[in-house]
Amino acid sequence: KRKLQLSPEQCSNFYAEQFGKVFFPNLTAYMSSGPIVAMVLARNCAVSYWKELLGPSNSLRARITHPHSLRALYGTDELRNGLHGSLSISSAEKEIRFLFPEAILEPVPTGQRARDYLNLYVKPTLLAGLTALCKEKPADPM
């Protein structure tokens, strides 16, 4: 999570795929008009899950078709929809690198690579921690 304010030039770079569209100048002006909160969300199928929570990009339409979505609740119109969501995993990686240049992104393992990672790194650490917790038997483990 990071709070920052983007310059109009940074917004133009961030939304470069939208360049040439009629709303582009208003988008970059709006996005650079004040601070934003950028977050990296991590979970299985994060991009599609976040899209589902966001609802349609036009918050006026979202109020009709997805009234409980985040954009329906917090957006004000078709441009000022309150929240951004990456369109794909590759765009999410690009946007994370843009907004968090100090972050180290590694490919998310899947399938056998994910199982190997869990067996090699997560399970031993978890087992050691839980074993230590059982030996201590603290009155309040939290």
Secondary structure (DSSP) of the chain: -EEE---HHHHHHHTGGGTTSTTHHHHHHHHTSS-EEE----STTHHHHHHHHH--SSHHHHHHH-TTSHHHHH--SSS--S----SSHHHHHHHHHHH-TT----PPP-HHHHHHHIIIIIHHHHHHHHHHHHHH--SS--
Judge whether 68 counts as a catalytic residue: no
Q: How far is CA 79 from CA 25, 108, 122, in A?
A: 11, 32, 43
Q: Which of 84, 86, 89, 95 is catalytic?
A: 84
Catalytic residues: 84
